[in-house]
Amino acid sequence: MSTVPAGAAAPETAAGPEEPPSPRTTGAPEAPTWPEEFAARYRAAGHWRGETFGGMLRDRAEVHPDRIAVIDPAGGPAGGRRVWTYAELDRRADRMAAGFAARGIGRGDRVVVQLPNVAEFFEVVFALFRIGALPVFALPAHRKTEIGYFCSFTEAVAYVIPAVHEGFDYRTLATTARAQAPSLKHVFVAGGDAGYFESLAEVPAEPVDLPEPAPGDLAFLQLSGGSTGVPKLIPRTHDDYIYSLRGSNEICAVDENSVYLCVLPAAHNFPLSSPGSLGTLYAGGRVVLCPRPVPDEAFRLIESEGVTITGVVPPLALVWTEAAPRSAYDLGSLSVLLVGGAKFSEETARRVRPALGCSLQQVFGMAEGLVNYTRLDDPQETVLTTQGRPISPDDEILVVDDEDNELPVGETGHLLTRGPYTIRGYWKAPEHNARSFTEDGFYRTGDVVRLTATGHIVVEGRAKDQINRGGEKIAAEEVENHILAHPAVHDANVVAEPDPYLGERTCAYVILRPGAEPLRAPAVKKFVRERGLAAYKVPDRVVFVDAFPKTGVGKVSKKDLRAAATSPAAAP
C-alpha cells in the first residue's frame, strides 16, 4: 500500500538537511496507510483539508485571542484555578515546543504522555504537535507493565508525568520505565517536586521557528483496548483526526459557544475527539477539565462554568442520573450528554432527560477510527435503542458472517469498516494487521452488530476476546499471561461476567499445578497487581477449577466459561 502523500505543505521546508526525513515520507513500513485513490477521494470530498493541530491552534489564537480555551479548576500551583485564553495556550505551546526542541526532541520522536486532567496536557500535546513529535496517549491508570511497554516498544525519547496523582507517585513509574527503555532520555514532571527528573515548568523557552509537520503526517499514537497479549498502538494523522472532529462538532452542535466538560481521562479517544476537548478547541469553544468524575465535582463545574456538553461512560451516566435529582446544583446549562464506550442500557438511557434535563446522544466509537452518534433530531426510540450511525457518508460499514459474507440488513454479524478516519493498520504490527484488517483494508472491529432500516447500528455483542468493564477495555490474553506467570498456576482463562453497575467485570478461571501450594483468590489478585498492571485489569473474581470446558475440537470454550460465570451456581 502506498503512503499518504504529504498534501499541500512541502516536506522540503519541513525537514532541514541534517534532519532525518519523516519515516512516513520515506515509506518506512511503520503502519499501512490509505491507498492513494482513497486519499485522493477523501481530499476531493473536502474531508481532509490539509489542516494540522499546530496550525489550527495558531489560527484560532489569531482570530479570537481572548476567548477562553481551557479552564483547569484545580490543577494549578497549590490547587489554584487556571484559565488560559487561546492566545495563552498558543504562546505556551510555542514556548514548550521550543524547550522540547532545545532538548533534541524532534519530528517523529515518540513521547509517552501520562497526565491527568490538568491544563498542562494541552500545553504538552500542542507543543508536540507543533514539532511533529508523536504523543503516545497513556492513561493515568497505567502502571509499570503498560508504561514500560509503551516506552520500549515505541522507543520513546521522553515521558511526561504528574509528580503525584490520586495518591500514586508517578516518579516511581518513571524510574522503572527508564530501566526498561534505554531510549528514554527525558522525564518531565508536571506540578509538584520533580525529584530526580526535570520539572516541566522549567522546559519552556523563547519561541523559535520550527518546521511544522504536514497534514498527512502522523499526529500521535492512540491506544487500543486490544484483545491480544500487548496493547496495540493506533497511528492517527492530523488530516484524518481533524476530519473526525469537524464531523463530530457538526453532529453534536459544538460551536464557539460550547463549553465541554472533560470528565473521562483527557487522553482517551472519546473525551479527546467525540467531539471532546479537541473538537471543542477546533470550534473555538471552551474546555473545562474535571479532575474527578464524581457527580458532586462534575455538577459543581457544570453550574459554575456553564457547561453545555459532556461525555461519560454508562456506569457514570447511571450514577449521575441517580444523583442529579438530589443535587442542589443547577444543571440547566447542560444541553447534551454523550454516553458511550460500552453498551448503554435502554433502561438508563430513558432516565437521562428526566434526571439531567438534557438531550442524550449515544456514541459508539473506537480509537481505531469509526465513530457513530445518534443525531440530535433522531426520534426518541432511535436515541434510546441504537448506538447511532457513522459520522461520514464515506464511512463504509459491512456486517458479515464468520466467512466474511455480507449479511442482509437487520441480521446480526461482525462489523467491518473502512473510511476517511479509520486506520488501515496498527503501528509496527504487521502480523496482527493481517488478522485485524481484510485484504481490501476493512478494519475488523470485533464488535457484533446489526443495522436498522435507518442505518443505525445496534451493538449486540463482541467477538473479540476482551472484557468491557464499564468502558475500560481489558484484553483477556494480557491478564491471562500475567496469571500464568504465577509458579502455582497451571492454566488460566479470563472472561467477562455480568455486573449490574459496570455492565461487565472480569472473572479469572484458574487451574492450579498438581501438588502446588494452595492458592487463594486474593493472592492471585495481589500477584497480578504487583506485576504492575493497571488496577482495572486485576480480575474482579478468581475461581479455581480442575478443568476448563472444551469445544468439539478440544479448545477451551470461553463461551461455556462465560455461561458458567453467569449461572446462579457461580458463587462469588
Interhelix angle 170-180/144-153, rounded to 10 degrees, is: 40
Of ligand DBH, ligand AMP, none, which one does residue 387 interact with (CB within 5 to 8 Å by kind)?
A: ligand AMP
List of residues 6+ apart from 345 with CB closer than 8 A: 314, 503
Using alpha carbons only, how large is the chain's radius of gyration in Å?
23
Shortest approach of ligand AMP to residue 433 CB, angstroms? 15
249 forms part of the interface with ligand DBH (CB under 6 A): no
Considering only 456, 462, 482, 537, the residue that binds ligand AMP (CB under 6 A) is: 462
CA distances for 559 relative to 137, 348, 404, 541, angstroms = 33, 27, 21, 17
Of ligand DBH, ligand AMP, none, which one does residue 114 interact with (CB within 5 to 8 Å by kind)?
A: none
Query: What distance in Å separates the CA atoms of residue 449 and residue 221, rounded to the nearest whole number?
Result: 27
Is residue 446 within 8 Å of residue 364, measured between CB atoms?
no
Neighbour count for residue 128 (Cβ, 10 Å): 28
447 forms part of the interface with ligand AMP (CB under 6 A): yes
227 forms part of the interface with ligand AMP (CB under 6 A): no
Of ligand DBH, ligand AMP, none, which one does residue 299 interact with (CB within 5 to 8 Å by kind)?
A: none
Nearer to ligand AMP, 340 or 390 (CB): 340
371 forms part of the interface with ligand DBH (CB under 6 A): yes
374 forms part of the interface with ligand DBH (CB under 6 A): no
Of ligand DBH, ligand AMP, none, which one does residue 274 interact with (CB within 5 to 8 Å by kind)?
A: ligand DBH
The stretch among 58-66, 268-276, 287-295, 317-325 that binds ligand DBH (CB under 6 A) is 268-276
341 forms part of the interface with ligand DBH (CB under 6 A): yes
Query: What distance in Å separates the CA atoms of residue 407 and residue 460, rounded to the nearest whole number?
Result: 15
Q: Which residue has the cell 468491557?
A: 468
Buried b (16+ CB within 10 A) or exposed e, 346-385: eebbbbbbebbebbbbbbbbbbbbbbbbbeeebeeebbbb
CA distances for 301 relative to 76, 84, 93, 313, 322, angstroms = 16, 17, 26, 18, 18
Site size with ligand AMP, rule: CB under 6 A: 21
134-137 vs 110-113, strand pairing mode = parallel
* Contacting ligand DBH within 273-292 (CB under 6 A): 273-274
378 forms part of the interface with ligand AMP (CB under 6 A): no
367 forms part of the interface with ligand DBH (CB under 6 A): yes
Of ligand DBH, ligand AMP, none, which one does residue 459 interact with (CB within 5 to 8 Å by kind)?
A: ligand AMP
424 forms part of the interface with ligand AMP (CB under 6 A): no
308 forms part of the interface with ligand AMP (CB under 6 A): no
- Which of the 8 DSSP states describes residue 215? T
Is residue 131 within 8 Å of residue 84, measured between CB atoms?
no
Reading the block at residue 97, the C-alpha cell is 515546543
Nearer to ligand DBH, 7 or 271 (CB): 271
342 forms part of the interface with ligand AMP (CB under 6 A): yes
244 forms part of the interface with ligand AMP (CB under 6 A): no
360 forms part of the interface with ligand DBH (CB under 6 A): no
Is residue 52 within 8 Å of residue 213, measured between CB atoms?
yes
Question: Binding string, 73-112, against ligand AMP, x = CB under 6 A?
Answer: ----------------------------------------
Query: What distance in Å separates the CA atoms of residue 469 and residue 445, rounded to the nearest whole number?
Result: 17
Shortest approach of ligand DBH to residue 272 CB, angstroms? 8
384 forms part of the interface with ligand AMP (CB under 6 A): no
List of residues 6+ apart from 381 with CB closer than 8 A: none
366 forms part of the interface with ligand DBH (CB under 6 A): yes
Query: What distance in Å separates the CA atoms of residue 389 and residue 284, rounded to the nearest whole number?
Result: 26
The stretch among 120-128, 364-372, 397-405, 494-502 that binds ligand DBH (CB under 6 A) is 364-372
Binding residues (CB under 6 A) for ligand DBH: these are 269-270, 273-274, 340-341, 363, 365-367, 371
Binding residues (CB under 6 A) for ligand AMP: these are 224-225, 269, 340-343, 362-368, 387, 445, 447, 459, 462, 468, 473
